[in-house]
């Protein structure tokens, strides 16, 4: 088994890059609820972007179809 410092370093590197960046920027650890809020916001923006691009594609297809 590794030392406590090695386990901490391994656990820190298993976090997503964005979370590590926010923790470095804020100079403190983020809580579990903050992680959940970030995931919810990113997922919402991803779904919103996906549906917006699908709608635009269907409008363009109908406009270009002779």
Helix axes 32-64, 17-26, angle to 10 degrees: 130
Q: 25 with 35, same domain? A: no
Q: 25 with 39, same domain? A: no
Q: 23 with 35, same domain? A: no
Residue 18 belongs to domain spanning: 1-29
Q: Which residue has the higher pLDDT, 12 or 64?
A: 64
Q: In this predicted model, what pLDDT tens digit does every residue of 15-52 receive, in sequence order? A: 788 878 888 888 888 888 988 999 999 999 999 988 87
Q: Is the pLDDT of residue 3 over 90?
A: no
pLDDT at 55: 64
Q: How far apart are CA 40 and CA 24, in angstroms?
A: 21
User: How many domains are contained in the chain?
Assistant: 2
Q: In this predicted model, what pLDDT tens digit does every residue of 49-58 receive, in sequence order? A: 888 777 666 6
pLDDT at 21: 82
């Amino acid at each position: 088994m590794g030392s406590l410092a090695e386990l901490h370093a391994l656990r820190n590197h298993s976090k997503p890059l964005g979370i590590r960046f926010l923790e470095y920027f804020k100079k403190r650890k983020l809580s579990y609820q903050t992680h959940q809020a970030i995931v919810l916001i990113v997922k919402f923006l991803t779904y919103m972007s996906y549906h917006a691009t699908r709608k635009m594609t269907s409008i363009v297809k109908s406009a270009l179809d002779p």
